[in-house]
Amino acid sequence: MTTSEAERSAMRRALALAATPGVPLGPNPRVGCVLLAPDGTTVAEGFHRGAGSPHAEVDALARAGAAARGATAVVTLEPCNHTGRTGPCSEALLAAGVSRVVFAQADANPVARGGGHRLRQAGVEVVGGLLADQARAVNEVWTFAVTSGRPFVTWKFATTLDGRSAAADGTSRWVSSRAARLDTHRLRALCDTMLVGTNTVEVDDPALTVRDEADEPLDVQPLRAVMGLRDLAPDRRVLDDRAETVHLRTRDPHEALAALFARDRQHVFLEGGPTLARAFLTAGLVDEVVTYVAPMLLGAGASAVADLGIGTIADAVHLDVSDVTVLPGDDGEDTNVRLTMTPGPTPGRTSSPTPSPTPRRT
Mean pLDDT of all residues in 239-260: 97
Per-residue confidence (pLDDT) for residue 356, from 0 to 100: 44
d(CA 338, CA 323): 8
Quick one: 119 and 184 in the same domain? no
Is residue 362's pLDDT more than 70?
A: no
> Domain of 262: which CATH number?
3.40.430.10
Is residue 183's pLDDT more than 50?
A: yes
Q: pLDDT tens, 327-355? A: 988 777 889 999 999 997 655 444 444 44
Is residue 352 domain-resident? no
Quick one: 164 and 287 in the same domain? yes
Q: Is 216 assigned a catalytic role? A: no
Domain count, the chain: 2
Is residue 349 domain-resident? no
Quick one: 332 and 196 in the same domain? yes
Is residue 358's pLDDT more than 70?
A: no
Q: pLDDT tens, 260-276? A: 999 999 999 999 899 99
Produce one character per residue of 241-279: b if its CB has 16 or more CB atoms within 10 Å, e if not: ebbebbbbeeeebbebbbbbbeebbbbbbbbbbbebbbb
Quick one: 259 and 126 in the same domain? no
Quick one: 189 and 139 in the same domain? no
Q: pLDDT tens, 134-156? A: 999 999 999 999 999 999 999 99
> Residue 134 contacts by C-beta under 8 Å, 6 or more apart in sequence?
15, 104
DSSP reduced 3-state for 116: helix
Is residue 84's pLDDT more than 90?
A: no
Domain that holds residue 40: 5-145
Is residue 356 domain-resident? no
Q: pLDDT tens, 302-332? A: 898 999 999 999 999 999 999 999 998 877 7
Is residue 313 domain-resident? yes
The domain boundary residue, chosen from 145, 176, 209: 145
Is residue 362 domain-resident? no
Quick one: 158 and 81 in the same domain? no
Which of 45, 57, 78, 288 does the annotation list as catalytic?
Answer: 57
Rounded-to-10 torsion of CA 324, 145, 52, 189: -30
In terms of DSSP bridges, do strands 125-128 and 245-248 run parallel, antiparallel, or are they unpaired?
unpaired
